[in-house]
Amino acid sequence: QGRKIISCREMQSTQDHAKKLAIQGGSEGTIVVAETQSAGRGRMGRSWASPPGGLYFSVILRPGITLAGAAGLPLVAAVALARAIQPYTAVAPGLKWPNDVLIQKRKAAGILVEMSAEMDRLDWVVIGIGVNVAAASVQLPPEIRRTSTSLAIESTRIVHRAQLLGDILYELEEALDMFQTQGFEPLRKQWKEKSHTLGKHVTVVGSRQSIEGKAVDIDGSGALVMECAGGIRQRVTSGDLFFKGG
Ligand code: BTN
């Protein structure tokens, strides 16, 4: 597919730039990529450290799905990202709900999905992806050093960022095509195969409450199904997941 690529050495946030373009009518497939970000954003209002040597980009989508159907998108993106990264790593990446890519239990990449809808019709979606590519452990911010890793630390071969970007975009396109033609089910299956979450005791911290229990399934809309005290099952649609005992 023909794409428009906007590439900058430094940007505040590729996500914010792509969102601005999307609001102005930017076309599906437009990609904004930067060498570093001065105000990179993560999920749940966090910042995303973006030193040089990483891969930071955002892509505009205009998928023909409903707002309700879009709940699975973060997981679809995570499956694509894990597939793209897999050939580079000695140990296969695992997924932490909803959309973190882990290598050896440490986070190597993150995904931020933001969207706008009119009634139930999606207008635009911006998927932002940040991959720790070159960072050595000491270059990661101290507060995430214990829980994060990079492809340089985990990889078996030299990683060329342009190649990696191409690989991710290819997998993303494949996964999104599948999502739009076959629905979430095949991707839910792939997510579960790559899961590093299910079967574990976790706490999910949401904006209103935190829930503790065993992560047992992903439902048909991408929500996490948890088994809590007394065998009660709860569906969790958003939040931050922590593994019990680290
Ligand atoms: C997370 O795990 O919290 C999501 C991290 C998403 C980071 C990417 S880097 C490219 C894009 N621009 C941003 O400001 N954030 C996303």
Q: What pLDDT shows up at residue 141?
A: 78
> Quick one: CA torsion of 159, 165, 171, 176, rounded to 10 degrees?
160
Biggest CA-to-CA distance, the chain: 53
- pLDDT value of position 245: 73
Percentage of the chain exceeding pLDDT 90 = 79
Q: Are strands 201-205 and 210-218 parallel, antiparallel or unpaired?
A: antiparallel
Q: What is the pLDDT of residue 175?
A: 97
For the Cβ of 48 lying below 6 angstroms from any atom of ligand 1, the answer is yes
Give the model's confidence band at 208: pLDDT under 50 very low, under 70 low, under 90 confident, else very high: confident
Q: Is the minimum distance from the CB of 63 to ligand 1 under 6 angstroms?
A: no
Over the stretch 106-136, which tens digit does the pLDDT of each residue have?
Answer: 999 999 999 999 888 999 999 999 999 987 7
CA of 180 to the centre of ligand 1 (A): 24
Higher pLDDT pick, 136 / 154: 154
SS3 115: strand
Say what the pLDDT of residue 169 is. Answer: 97
ipTM: 0.99
**Domains present along the chain, CATH in parentheses:** 5-193 (3.30.930.10), 201-243 (2.30.30.100)
Q: What is the pLDDT at residue 170?
A: 97
Atom of ligand 1 nearest to the CA of 41: 14
Read off the DSSP letter of residue 151: H
* Per-residue model confidence as pLDDT tens digits over 47-92: 999 999 999 999 999 998 899 899 999 999 999 999 999 999 989 9
Query: Residue 103 C-alpha to ligand 1 middle, in angstroms?
Result: 18
pTM: 0.94
Report the binding-site residues for biotin.
37, 41-43, 107
Cα 46 to ligand 1 centroid, rounded to whole Å: 9
Bigger pLDDT: 35 vs 136: 35
DSSP string, 57-86: EEEEE--S-BTTGGGGHHHHHHHHHHHHHG
39 CA to centre of own chain: 18
